[in-house]
Amino acid sequence: MNVTQYDYDLFVIGAGSGGVRASRMASQYGARVAVAEDIYLGGTCVNVGCVPKKLFVYGSHVSEELEGAAGYGWNLGAASFDWPTLRDNKTREVQRLNGVYRNILSSAGVELIEGRAHIDGPNSVTVAGKTYSAERILVATGGWPVIPEIPGKEHIISSNEAFYLERFPESVLVLGGGYIAVEFAGIFNGLGASTELVYRGPQILRGFDDEVREVTAREVAQKGVRITLNTNIEAVAKNPDGRFTVTLTSGEQRVVDCVMAATGRAPKIAGLGLENTAVTLTDKGTIAVNEDYQTTEPSIYALGDVIGGMELTPVALAEGMALAKNLYGKSAGLQTPVRVDYANIPTAVFCQPNIGTVGLTEAQALEKGYRLRVYCSDFKPMKHSLTGLGERTFMKLLVDDASDKVIGCHMVGPDAGEILQGIAVAMKAGATKADFDGTIGIHPTAAEEFVTMREPTRRVPAA
């Protein structure tokens, strides 16, 4: 079959961040592109991920602002929180963004096909009973929350449902120790719920720098979240009054209004029809691809969360851009293959206080054989000198002693994500500790601490 005999040059399954970016750019390079979406435009990030989550974080942090206002002379009187207002305002903003994504696709000349796509073969996709042919197919279906297989799992919600609760719970038990669990524990706590975080491991936020984990656990706990470690849920039972009895592996029980699990996400590929192709999966159940995002079926590609890399919206966007440029960019004069650089990708956790991180953790650096100079600072932010609140900020720089390059930067504190974005640029450019030391700070800010840490806290391995 000649290329011109296909209905489309590229058929994208999934209108999330990666799928929309790939389809829009491919279309602008001259490809005939269609996108199939069966749930919502914008994917996880816009609908049940980063956007609504951060709106909830903003809302939940207001209680702390009110608590600290008296130190600045504000007598605010009694305050109350109305859950339906926050929930519905968030939903309206999500719906607005759905329309923005629809316009993006339309303006780029991409055909939007609404419905669940099923792959019939290497070049064939069926949506709502109609079959389409395509020279290439891109799977960008993202991930989906996984609820653990425990008795009573039907009573447990995921982060998806948390955004649309009919009533705000007075008490919540959050299962998990990753960033989603920690963020939602902070949200529920800040909005007024009695909140407990239960995690099977010895410390929350596995994979982050160990000191960051310890500081975050301390700060989250001092803000009111009860953290129970080395514990799991054994069963959940619904009581006659509508509440839930949670039995823990310790034998203890909790009675709460809501049980939420944030214990992981899996690729959303069930029922997609991959068995009709030569596409293979990794041991982790993600779609196996090469450096060009091509699967073991040459005509089928995959990117974003479904391939199991760094599950971040900007990463999916970068992958979508790279794919479109490599497949269709020659028409625009692009010759050199584009590769996404996965080194020094910054990320943030919007717990309270925030975490910002870029580069290696201390454990990763030592595993790679670096001799390190470690610089740490732990202090009370200037703002809280009047509020009386106990929140502290923690900063950490990891420096390769041989080259003086900054190879890791970590922060726990207000606006950590905003601050670390600029440092990520510096590290991408190869900044040394001397470059940091030679930079004049902005005073008075917390961020200036990153350019005023002169003496190393310790050297590892010790000289």
Q: Which residues are catalytic?
A: 443
User: Is-cis flag, bond preceding 414, omega within 30?
Assistant: no
**CA-closest candidate to residue 176, choices 145, 211, 144:** 145
Amino acid at 296: T
Question: Which runs of E-coded beta strand occur in 141-225?
Answer: 143-145, 171-175, 194-198
The arrangement of strands across the sheet holding 233-238 comes to 233-238, 244-248, 253-256
Q: Which two tokens stand for residue 24?
A: 């829009």
414 touches 385 (CB < 8 A): no
Say how many C-beta atoms besides its own lie within 10 A of residue 50's C-beta. 16
**CA-closest candidate to residue 220, choices 334, 386, 391, 342:** 391
Rounded alpha-carbon distances, angstroms, from residue 428 to 14, 359, 407, 421, 438: 31, 9, 10, 11, 18
Amino acid at 100: V
Taking the C-alpha atoms of residue 333 and residue 5, their distance in angstroms, rounded to an integer, is 25
Taking the C-alpha atoms of residue 182 and residue 205, their distance in angstroms, rounded to an integer, is 8
Taking the C-alpha atoms of residue 199 and residue 231, their distance in angstroms, rounded to an integer, is 6
Using alpha carbons only, give the angle 445, 450, 452 rounded to the nearest 5 degrees.
85
Conformation bin of residue 238: beta by default, left when phi > 0, alpha when psi is -120 to 50: beta
Residues 6+ apart with CB under 8 A from 325: 25, 29, 334, 338
- 374 by Cβ neighbours in 10 Å (0-12 / 13-18 / 19+) ranks as middle
Residue 309: HSE in the Cβ half-sphere, 13 Å Cα cutoff: 24
Q: What is the DSSP string of 306-363?
A: GGTS---HHHHHHHHHHHHHHHHGGGGT--SPP----TT--EEE-SSS-EEEEE--HH
Q: What is the DSSP string of 47-90?
A: HHSHHHHHHHHHHHHHHHHHHHHGGGT---------HHHHHHHH
114 touches 196 (CB < 8 A): no
- Report which secondary-structure segment, H or E, holds 117: strand 117-121
